[in-house]
């Protein structure tokens, strides 16, 4: 067993991650930035800024552990309801993150993908995202999916429209429609479904995240706010996942 897969759990017992059972796809709902800031009497923007630091650490650790796909829920179709200044902070942080990190991510073999419709984002944001996707497009070590203006229902509405369009143009037939075909009309086309969905910060809901893809995902919740989430928390979540009995509706 490689040393990097040995960790201390609760600072007491050592626990060992199984190198052969690292989830192929981990998806994270990065929650709690606002409450983290409020608790420290800081503006919410500082919570989001601290959240970006956590992203850096978690991408690095996910790659080190051999996770193939890391999906981060960064902005939902419902997040437009937030005050204008918070929206602008989030867009600015995204641009800053990409400007600062893309070269390093590229060197580290990270391939950036966008899940969601970014056409409503400020043009600078769209351009940085397109640039990041292009620069990193040949990388194979880890896929970093940024879910931006993403909603599970919106994704399915979009897929239905695309399918209807292809039916009309007779590119596909009614009898071609099955689960595999639908999976090819959504943003995660060609990617494995998430094995593990992590939501820090105490809430236990899915919030319109990956509704089609999470049919058999394992969930892991914790009370830690996203800015305080560490690589050890990621390891704990994976350890917990590795000890689940996944039956996919069957019997063992
Ligand atoms: C949830 O916390 C967090 C978000 C809605 C935004 C997450 C975005 C970032 C961390 C920064 C930008 C993204 C990238 C990829 C650089 P919340 O505000 O809902 O927290 P609360 O529930 O405590 O209010």
Containing H/E element for 154? helix 152-168
CA–centroid distance, 16 to ligand 1, in Å, is: 31
* pLDDT reported for residue 97: 98
Global pTM reads 0.95
**79 in active site:** yes
Q: State whether the beta carbon of 30 lies less than 6 angstroms from ligand 1.
A: yes
- Looking only at the bridges linking them, the beta strands covering 25-29 and 69-76 are parallel
Q: State whether the beta carbon of 35 lies less than 6 angstroms from ligand 1.
A: yes
Domain residue spans in the chain?
Answer: 4-242
CA distance 147 to 159: 16
* pLDDT reported for residue 123: 98
CA–centroid distance, 51 to ligand 1, in Å, is: 7
* pLDDT reported for residue 191: 98
Per-run averaged pLDDT (10 residues), the chain, 252 residues = 56 80 98 98 98 98 98 98 97 98 98 98 98 98 98 98 98 98 98 98 97 98 98 97 96 85
CA distance 46 to 37: 6
Chain-centre distance for alpha carbon 132: 16
Nearest to 235 by CA among 220, 249, 214: 220
* pLDDT reported for residue 252: 78
CA–centroid distance, 74 to ligand 1, in Å, is: 6
DSSP 172: S
CA distance 91 to 42: 19
CA distance 7 to 57: 17
Structural class in CATH, domain 4-242: alpha beta
Q: What are φ and ψ of residue 231, in 5° steps?
A: -65, -30
* pLDDT reported for residue 72: 99
Contact residues for 18 (Cβ-Cβ < 8 A; gap 6+): 5, 242
* pLDDT reported for residue 6: 67
């Amino acid at each position: 067993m490689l040393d990097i897969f040995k960790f201390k759990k609760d600072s007491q017992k050592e626990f060992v991650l199984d190198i052969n059972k690292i989830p192929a796809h981990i998806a994270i709902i990065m929650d709690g930035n606002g409450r983290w800031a409020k608790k420290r009497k800081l503006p919410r923007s500082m919570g989001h800024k601290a959240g970006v630091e956590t992203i850096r650490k978690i991408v690095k650790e996910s790659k080190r552990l051999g996770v193939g796909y890391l999906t981060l829920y960064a902005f939902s179709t419902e997040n437009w309801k937030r005050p204008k200044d918070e929206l602008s902070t989030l867009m600015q942080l995204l641009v800053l993150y990409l400007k600062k990190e893309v070269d390093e991510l590229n060197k580290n073999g990270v391939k950036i993908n966008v899940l969601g419709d970014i056409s409503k984002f400020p043009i600078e944001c769209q351009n940085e995202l397109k640039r990041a996707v292009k620069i990193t497009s040949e990388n194979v070590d880890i896929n970093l999916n940024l879910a931006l203006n993403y909603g599970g229902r919106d994704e399915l509405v979009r897929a239905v429209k695309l399918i209807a369009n292809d039916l009309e143009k007779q590119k596909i037939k009614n009898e071609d429609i099955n689960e595999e075909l639908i999976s090819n009309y959504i943003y995660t086309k060609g990617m494995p479904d998430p094995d593990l969905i992590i939501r820090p910060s105490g809430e236990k809901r899915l919030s319109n995240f990956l509704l089609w893809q999470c049919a058999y995902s394992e969930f892991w919740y914790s009370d830690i706010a996203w800015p305080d989430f560490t690589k050890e928390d990621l390891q704990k979540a994976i350890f917990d996942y590795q000890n689940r009995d996944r039956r996919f509706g069957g019997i063992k």
